[in-house]
Amino acid sequence: MTDTTLTRLHAHEMATRLRTGEVGSRELLEAHLALIERQDHALNAWQSLDPAGARAAADRADTALVRARSDGQEALDALPPLHGIPVALKDLVVTRGQPSTAGSRILEGYRGAYDAHIAERLHDAGAVIPGKTNMDEFAMGSSTEHCAWGPVGNPWDLGRVPGGSSGGSAAAVAAFHAPLAIGTDTGGSIRQPAALTGTVGLRPTYGRVSRSGIIAFASSLDQVGPFARDVRDAALLLGVVAGHDPRDSTSAPEPVPDYASTLATDPGQAAEVLRGRRLGLPRQYFVAGMEPGVEARVREAVARLAAAGAEIVEVDLPHTEYGLATYYIVAPAEASANLARYDGVRFGRSVRTGDVLTDYLETRGTGFGAEVKRRIMLGTYALSAGYYDAYYLKALKVRTLIKADFDQAFEQVDALIAPTSPTVAFPLGARMDDPVAMYLSDACTLPVNVAGLAGLSVPCGLSEGLPVGLQLIGRAFDELTLLQLGRAWEAVSADDDWRRLEPTDLPRLDDPATPAPGVAPAA
């Protein structure tokens, strides 16, 4: 196989070929590393690479594969499903000896002293980690422009954003730099970039995946989840990283289903899942300012799901309109508390002039970017004496009402269906001077985080030549239903022309003259 053919394989296809010996883990890795080296100058999806560590892991995987093949089919079947397969990590996942900067200058030079829980899980599963992906600083952003290492481009149009804050992971998967990637979702930071890059992104229920070793933004909202190019691959990755971790007090001791094995491989069988399912369509998610093309694609998808056997039920989520305000009180308040540790004494970079106050102000003033400073100030204000009851406490009460809306809806339906993002990918720089417009990018995703539920974004077509995402929202710890419904949608839309398209700007990535994202081309 050529390098290009190898990188186009889905993870479950790679797993099959690895077991038959048609391809080796080292061969897979080298194909992806070569593509990254050739193209990332124009994409900037990667913050750091670990070729030596990845090659050592791939060689270990190949040795285990050779041994298993000699021992017979039972030994091959016993290998973990991601054995030998590349998986990218967002740059807030701490790994031993490797950079973990969370996209911030204040952590420049920091190397992990241990492995995050999910990194341990991936190592145990035999996965190969090529490196860390670029991100909005401390996961604060919806475009991956708020990053100390420069913005990330969208493979569909390098002049547009890939969404955020996990834009590096989304762009890497969309550009075939990795078949799988880890992101985090605090207000939509997996689902929104998945929608904007035409990939699959899953935010699991809060507590489903351990946050131990994940650099924190907002502790009651953050959740780790997978990016993939189809639902089956997302199920494989979730199955590896999900599960209880005693080191994380918010990790839930819930049993983890074998997600991937329950998903039908035959399209006809996959579509059968829709028969008799009740899907709720919340009118509040078709927000003001939604692009007509986005709404059209979503409503077309809903109609096709209905034609395939699903029952569509209109539902009311009356407190959705307060979701944005609630989120932007709770998240900055928690960020203010979490980021207080980066003071030049305990963690991160340290500016030393001899004066304690000057050192503190200089360390944080030069270490944090503008968006992080904005949210720290908002959060500190909301938590300050005289304002705690007026803002933060009130936001917590509204959060309870938003969760109650979902609970009531799930008494009627199996899952909710909605747009993921109100727009397609917007141009780089278009919203940098308008924070409110940027925050509205997550209007359709952040209520799920506020309520602690699970959400899945799957591609549902194109508008103006750019991907549109369809969002499925499920009950707590019912990721299995979302994955089954997402797989059913893939079956229903399998023959659509847009499914055979690759990102439009992939050829430009191969051109050495293509500038870095956000840099004007030479005259």
Between these two residues, 47 and 518, which has the higher pLDDT value?
47
**Active site (annotated) includes residue 142:** no
Q: Which of 25, 100, 165, 421 is catalytic?
A: 165
d(CA 455, CA 205): 8
| Model confidence at 435: pLDDT above 80 | yes
Quick: pLDDT tens for 135-154. 999 999 999 999 999 999 99
CA 447 to chain CA mean position, Å: 16
pLDDT of residue 1: 58
pLDDT of residue 484: 98
pLDDT confidence band for 2 (50 / 70 / 90): low
**Active site (annotated) includes residue 90:** yes
Q: Which two tokens stand for residue 442?
A: 């997550």
CA 14 to chain CA mean position, Å: 22
C-alpha count within 13 angstroms, C-beta hemisphere, residue 201: 40
Q: Which of 25, 100, 104, 189 is catalytic?
A: 189
Q: Which of 90, 132, 463, 493 is catalytic?
A: 90
The second-level CATH assignment, the architecture, of 3-321+400-509 is Alpha-Beta Complex (3.90)
- φ, ψ (nearest 5 deg) of residue 115: -100, 135
Q: Which two tokens stand for residue 147?
A: 């990053």
Domain definitions of the chain by residue range: 3-321+400-509, 322-393
pLDDT confidence band for 506 (50 / 70 / 90): very high
- Which stretch of 15-29, 93-107, 338-352, 414-428 has the lowest confidence by average pLDDT? 338-352
CB contact at 8 A, 289 and 512: no
Q: How many CB atoms lie within 10 A of CB 308?
A: 18
Is residue 515 exposed (0-12), middle (13-18) or buried (19+ Cβ within 10 Å)?
middle
Quick: pLDDT tens for 152-185. 999 999 999 999 999 999 999 999 999 999 999 9
| Model confidence at 520: pLDDT above 80 | no
pLDDT of residue 219: 97
Question: Which strands, in side-by-side order, build the sheet including 466-474?
Answer: 46-49, 131-133, 87-90, 180-184, 224-228, 200-203, 454-463, 466-474, 415-419, 278-282, 311-315
**Active site (annotated) includes residue 165:** yes
d(CA 177, CA 40): 9
Quick: pLDDT tens for 348-380. 788 888 788 888 888 898 999 999 999 999 999
State the Rg of the chain over Cα: 22
d(CA 251, CA 245): 6
What are the percentages of helix, strand and coil residues in the chain, rounded to 5?
Answer: 45, 15, 40
Q: Which two tokens stand for residue 324?
A: 């944005």
Q: DSSP string of 79-93?
A: S-TTTT-BEEEETTB
